[in-house]
Structure 1
Amino acid sequence: MAELLVIRHAQASFGADDYDKLSPLGHQQSQVLGDLLRKAGWEPDRLVTGTLTRQKETLRSMGFEAVPEEHPGWNEYDFHDLLRVKHGGVIPDMVQHDRKTHFRTLKSVLREWQKGGIEGAAETWAAFSARLEAARAFATDTAARRVLVVSSGGAIGQLVASALGTTPEQMIALNLQVKNTSMTRFVFNARAFTLHEFNSTPHFATPEGAELLTYS
């Protein structure tokens, strides 16, 4: 069977006016992961990202030279849009800049969104789920044996939840566990798509590497 290795983008710029770019630490995380894969002899036959800058910067800093394909289905849900709509157009400062408040609020908003709430958001939960399935089909409709995708935490959470046949609520729990540059691996063929490994970070498994670990 072929492998689909889905990487969450490296650390972005939490709280900044432009979240969609890597921090200096994010570039370091990406390089360490790329080095690990090459040392392990895992060279991708096909590269795919979403259209987000943080996803594309992660792949570039991993050091693979082939030109990637893009599919917007691998993009994250627009959490800034969901939070703005929920709060009447302006995200409160604590929600924007305080990590604990941000993620506590985000969990609540995601639950409401999944149930059909947050009216006026740019994307519905159903549309998000459908484009993730389209992205999965795009990445696995291939003769390649090793497909590497750089995506985002919510997309990975939904992909895992869908593969396991679990609930939307479980997607939220999975989403918020996904570490920057973690690896989630699936095996697939024309008849099957199976989760093999979730949220793995062997490149952070040393005392030095542990200092690079982030979640946002």
Structure 2
Amino acid sequence: MTTIYLIRHGQASFGAESYDQLSPNGELQAKILGQYFDSILKEAPYAVAGSMRRHQQTAGIALEQCFPEASVVTDSAWNEFNHQQVFAQYEPRFNEPHLLKADVDKEDNPRAYLAKIFEGAIERWTGGDYHHEYEESWPHFKRRVETALQNLCNELAKTQPRYAVVFTSGGVISVAAGKILGLSPNKTFALNWAIANSSMTTLRLVGNEPQLLSLNEHHFIKAENPNLLTWI
């Protein structure tokens, strides 16, 4: 029976010109993840990563700690939605990432403020009235992720590796979990906001159908250094 680990990338570079780059914290989170894999995985996993730089970096750093010989299949179907466009369509000035970061940094509770912005932006994206304004609409993103998950499960059902690891993003993991649990868009993205960087969500493959075993495990990072836990 195959166990599938869905991994959110390490902390990226929020507010920078390019978000798609691990921060120093993100690199350390990925290293700790890899060391944890070294203690729990008994053989090299079948590894997949989205094509975004933060996915590839997290995969490379983590696997170097445990199975450096493992190859990684790159599949852009596991890429995150364009969060910058989703924010910008909600508030045009947020098309400049540093302006959003500046607003967040001014708040007494930055995470709560960003959560409020995120909720409003996601409601607009998923609501149904503005699908035509986005490069990738919510229905298209949802369908892409669900198809990627089912294609992976079909492949694993044939090859039956002991483990599979997918390096991806929080929105993707939320949609995958939401599909399994039958969640609404609002509840799906409530999960997204809670998923920590470099955390793992675990699925068990039964036939070619995934079952959710755990969500957002990040105790291995907290045990190493609670200050390394990040969600943004």
Aligned residue number for residue 87 of structure 1: 91
Matches within 5 A, 1:107-186: 107-118=119-130, 119-140=132-153, 141-142=155-156, 143=159, 144-186=161-203
- Structure 2: how far apart are the matches of 1:181 and 1:43? 20
AA paired with 2:79?
N
Q: 1:67-115, CA deviations, whole angstroms, 9 ceiling, x for partnerless residues?
A: 2111112111111011222334753665344144433212111112112
- Shifted more, 38-47 versus 121-130: the winner is 38-47
Query: Which is worse superposed, 98-107 or 42-51?
Result: 98-107
CA distance in 2, matches of 1:79, 1:117: 18
Matched with 2:33 is 33
Deviations along 1:18-47, one digit per CA (max 9) or x if unpaired, are 100001111111111101110223444310
The aligned counterpart of 1:75 is: 79
1:45 aligns with 2:45: yes
Go from structure 1 to structure 2 and tell me whether the alpha carbon gap of 1:191 and 1:18 turns closer, same or farther (over 3 Å shift).
Answer: closer
Distance 1:195 1:91, change over 3 A: same
Question: Secondary structure of the equivalent of 1:113?
Answer: helix
For the aligned residue pairs, the C-alpha RMSD in angstroms reads 1.8
Give the 3 Å change call, closer, same or farther, for CA 53–191 of structure 1 in structure 2. closer
Q: CA deviation at 1:215?
A: 0.5
Structure 1 contact 12–22 (Cα < 8 Å) conserved: yes
SS of 1:205's equivalent in the other structure is helix
Distance verdict in 2 for CA 1:8–1:42, change over 3 Å = farther
The answer to whether the 8 A contact 1:96-1:102 is kept is no
Give the CA deviation at 1:161: 0.8
Amino acid across the alignment from 1:131: R
**Match for 1:201: what amino acid?**
H
- Tell me, in whole angstroms, the C-alpha distance in 2 between the residues paired with 1:169 and 1:102: 16
- State the TM-score, normalized to the length of structure 1: 0.92
Q: TM-score, normalised by structure 2?
A: 0.86
The residue that corresponds to 2:107 in the other structure is: none
Percent of pairs identical after alignment? 27
- Name the count of aligned residue pairs: 215
1:138 CA displacement? 2.7
* Residues 145/91 of structure 1: CA separation in 2 closer, same or farther (3 Å cut): same
Does the 8 Å contact 1:44/1:148 carry over to 2?
no
- Large movers: runs of 4+ above 6 Å: none
More divergent stretch after superposition (99-108 vs 9-18)? 99-108
